[in-house]
Amino acid sequence: MDHEAHLCNKFVNMKSQRVKVEDSFAPALDDETETFEHLLAEPKTEYVTVDGVLCFGKENAEKCLNFDDFSSGFDYGLNTYSGGRHSAHPRGLRSAHPRQGDYELELGVLDGLLDEVEEVEDIHATNGLASPCDDFLLDIGFTGKVSELEFGPCERSHLGNSESRSPGLSGSSNSAVGVSESSTVTIQEFECKNHSCPKASPHKFPGDFRRKKRRQTPVEGSTCPSSIRLQNFDELDYDQKSLVSGLLSNENEKDSIEANKIGAILKKKRLRKTTQRLVEDSSKKKAKDLMGSEKLSALAATEDLRLKAGSQNKLHHTRPRTLSSVPEEDSISDNLTLSEFRIRIARPKKQAIRTEFQPITSESEDEIVTTIFEKHDRRKHQHIKFDSEDEIVTTKMSEKHDRRKHQLVKSESEDETVTRRRSTRHNRRKHQPINSESEDEIVRRKRSKKHDRRKHQRMWDVSEVMALVDGISEHGVGQWTRIKRLRFTSSAYRTPIDLRDKWRNLLRSSCRKKLKKEVEENEENDMHLPQSLIYRVRELAKKHPYPRQRGKKFAPAILPTESKGASSDLIIKYVRRKNRS
């Protein structure tokens, strides 16, 4: 296509320009470069050129080739981006499916943008994050446009079109992706991208990323009110001129600011570390977001632009939190602001989603009840016994008013423990009161609706236990995965770890039974387990005392019997420890 040819030309141009600048100017600005690089955490060679560029742009406010260059690169990003928004456009950027790494980068960029913007401009709450970013993007785009005539028309038309012609673009989030992706890659990569992007697989929707397990970024899935974003889009479409003029009049400032921003981007990117915590956080976050995205996708049919806007917002909000956890301390300020934004923007939608998509099932009710329960009645000595979840609810309810039982039941208290622990951790992390708690709770609940078995473990029924015991007797203790594979193919919710845990508990309970002999009294603790099963467990327990208790296999058998005063649990633990050491 003509367009493509233009692109090629353009980038050839770009490259040569860059090289030129690099050679001629960078050395001259050596010390400057160095200082700048100091600001960046750990400069890498791949970025040196860029740094130089930035430096240059920053120092010499004049529009040097270099900077034009750079912005044109961004311009391209914008361009493709707008192309992506066109469902009709044959080679929208949407087709360029970024690899996971790209997402990282992209997010990094956004982070950088956010952070930087925050620092530099001190975002005003009302405008939300989006606006500064948009401005930034716009700026870039326009800078490029102004200096690079080739692209001007294209982009313009695209933008205009997207507004008037196809409001319901499918790849909303992709637009964001497109932008950041193209803007993130190093300049060298630009060239490749240019060629590869347009022809890449014709449809890569956010859904595709979603399917990826780990790294995916549920771009689409945000639940933000999009008014803000919309506004900005409008601006983007209609106020270009004013923006451009503003930019031009402000050349100096803008340039430096941009330089800063970009620097921040790079820095962030490099700063990223994958601590376990970090990874965990991010993944969790993603999971959370994922939920949102999935729900949202349902809505997508009806809401288009708004959703898109929301998603983009989310893109901005999602990541920073994760990222900023790298520097534990100084991140706090960042966190505050960012999460504040996040909350402000994201909460309403979440609530909406909840009401819309979360039918009140027994499970959710149950959870709610639990929460209430936990809040009002910390110490509970109830004993809860149930088979159906509904029963749980009723039981808990009634128990709230009437504490008749004083028996301590492990599962129940554990349950509570989990919740409490989690909530405390949550509070610890967030230092802002606001209503983040409730929000988070809601999210959590929503999440738990699906494949999250945090709350209310499924009770093991006899058949399951039998299967487990069979499996163990067949494959031995420790082959949890195998047992799971062979014996629990039907019940997907049992993980190998679950099996192991269950076995642990079985051992314990069987021991207890041994201890108390025929305590009977229906203790309810082993209610549904038939004697036969218990026997089997005991047999197995003799065979494999649990996790390969190397050495004294007799210990577990002996100690429990001879102990009288202490609780069997303690004993078992003790034994295990002893054996371990």
Partner DNA sequence: ATTAGGG
Partner DNA sequence: CCCTAAT
Nearest to 442 by CA among 352, 376, 374: 352
Tokens of 335: 């966190």
CB of 213 to DNA, least distance (A): 9
Question: In this complex, which beta carbon is closest to DNA, that of residue 61 or of residue 368?
Answer: 368
Whether the Cβ atoms of residue 88 and residue 202 lie closer than 8 Å to each other: no
Alpha-carbon distance of 29 to 9, in angstroms, equals 29
Nearest to 58 by CA among 266, 257, 262, 267: 257
Q: Is 441 in the site for DNA (CB under 7 A)?
A: no
Total binding residues toward DNA, as defined by CB under 7 A: 31
Q: What residues from 497 to 526 belong to the interface with DNA (CB under 7 A)?
A: 497-498, 500-501
CB of 215 to DNA, least distance (A): 13
According to CB under 7 A, which one of 195, 203, 212, 277 is a site residue for DNA? 277
- The tokens 């889009």 sit on which residue? 233
Q: Pattern 522-551, binding to DNA, x per CB under 7 A?
A: ------------------------xxx---
Question: In this complex, which beta carbon is closest to DNA, that of residue 135 or of residue 415?
Answer: 415
Q: What residues from 122 to 181 belong to the interface with DNA (CB under 7 A)?
A: none
Total residue count of the chain as it appears in this document: 581
Q: Taking contact as CB under 7 A, which single stretch among the options 308-316, 377-385, 398-406, 570-578 is the one that binds DNA? A: 570-578
Question: In this complex, which beta carbon is closest to DNA, that of residue 262 or of residue 537?
Answer: 537
Amino acid at residue number 51: D
According to CB under 7 A, which one of 8, 100, 493, 567 is a site residue for DNA? 493
Question: In this complex, which beta carbon is closest to DNA, that of residue 160 or of residue 496?
Answer: 496
**Residue/partner pairs of 545-553 with CB below 8 Å, 24 or more apart:** 546/477, 546/503, 546/504, 546/507, 546/576, 547/477, 547/478, 548/477, 548/478, 549/576, 549/579, 550/579, 551/579, 552/579
CB of 554 to DNA, least distance (A): 17
Q: Taking contact as CB under 7 A, which single stretch among the options 190-198, 340-348, 399-407, 491-499 is the one that binds DNA? A: 491-499
Residues 230, 111, 102, 299: is their CA dihedral positive or negative?
Answer: negative
CB of 454 to DNA, least distance (A): 3
CB of 418 to DNA, least distance (A): 6
CB of 412 to DNA, least distance (A): 12
Q: Pattern 91-110, binding to DNA, x per CB under 7 A?
A: --------------------
Alpha-carbon distance of 158 to 177, in angstroms, equals 17
Tokens of 375: 């809040």
CB of 486 to DNA, least distance (A): 12
Calculate the alpha carbon distances from 163 to 82, 130, 198, 459 in Å: 10, 18, 22, 54
Question: In this complex, which beta carbon is closest to DNA, that of residue 221 or of residue 471?
Answer: 471
According to CB under 7 A, which one of 19, 332, 408, 418 is a site residue for DNA? 418
According to CB under 7 A, which one of 62, 208, 280, 569 is a site residue for DNA? 280
Alpha-carbon distance of 292 to 268, in angstroms, equals 26
CB of 463 to DNA, least distance (A): 15
Alpha-carbon distance of 66 to 55, in angstroms, equals 10
Question: In this complex, which beta carbon is closest to DNA, that of residue 3 or of residue 454?
Answer: 454
Whether the Cβ atoms of residue 78 and residue 137 lie closer than 8 Å to each other: yes
Alpha-carbon distance of 366 to 389, in angstroms, equals 7
Calculate the alpha carbon distances from 189 to 11, 54, 94, 102, 196 in Å: 11, 18, 18, 12, 11
Amino acid at residue number 86: H
Alpha-carbon distance of 476 to 535, in angstroms, equals 17
Question: In this complex, which beta carbon is closest to DNA, that of residue 256 or of residue 423?
Answer: 423
Question: In this complex, which beta carbon is closest to DNA, that of residue 445 or of residue 500?
Answer: 500
CB of 512 to DNA, least distance (A): 16
Question: In this complex, which beta carbon is closest to DNA, that of residue 404 or of residue 580?
Answer: 580
Contacts of 333 (CB under 8 A, 6+ apart): none
Contacts of 246 (CB under 8 A, 6+ apart): none
Question: In this complex, which beta carbon is closest to DNA, that of residue 87 or of residue 457?
Answer: 457
CB of 477 to DNA, least distance (A): 6
Question: In this complex, which beta carbon is closest to DNA, that of residue 199 or of residue 580?
Answer: 580
DSSP state of 28: T
Whether the Cβ atoms of residue 441 and residue 375 lie closer than 8 Å to each other: no
Question: In this complex, which beta carbon is closest to DNA, that of residue 517 or of residue 577?
Answer: 577
Q: Pattern 306-345, binding to DNA, x per CB under 7 A?
A: ----------------------------------------
Question: In this complex, which beta carbon is closest to DNA, that of residue 158 or of residue 508?
Answer: 508
Q: Is 356 in the site for DNA (CB under 7 A)?
A: no
Contacts of 281 (CB under 8 A, 6+ apart): 321, 322, 325
CB of 290 to DNA, least distance (A): 16
* Three-class DSSP labels, 194-222: HHHHHHCCCCCCHHHHHHCCCCCCCCCCC
CB of 436 to DNA, least distance (A): 18
CB of 478 to DNA, least distance (A): 3
CB of 450 to DNA, least distance (A): 11
Nearest to 140 by CA among 301, 262, 36, 298: 262
Tokens of 159: 């933008």
Nearest to 409 by CA among 525, 238, 321: 525
Q: What residues from 446 to 485 belong to the interface with DNA (CB under 7 A)?
A: 452-454, 457-458, 477-482
Nearest to 244 by CA among 139, 108, 110, 369: 139
Question: In this complex, which beta carbon is closest to DNA, that of residue 203 or of residue 277?
Answer: 277
Q: Pattern 388-417, binding to DNA, x per CB under 7 A?
A: --------------------------x---
Question: In this complex, which beta carbon is closest to DNA, that of residue 319 or of residue 494?
Answer: 494
- The helix-helix angle for 410-429 and 362-376 (nearest 10°) equals 80
Site for DNA, rule CB under 7 A: 276-277, 280, 414, 418, 422, 452-454, 457-458, 477-482, 493-494, 496-498, 500-501, 546-548, 573, 576-577, 580
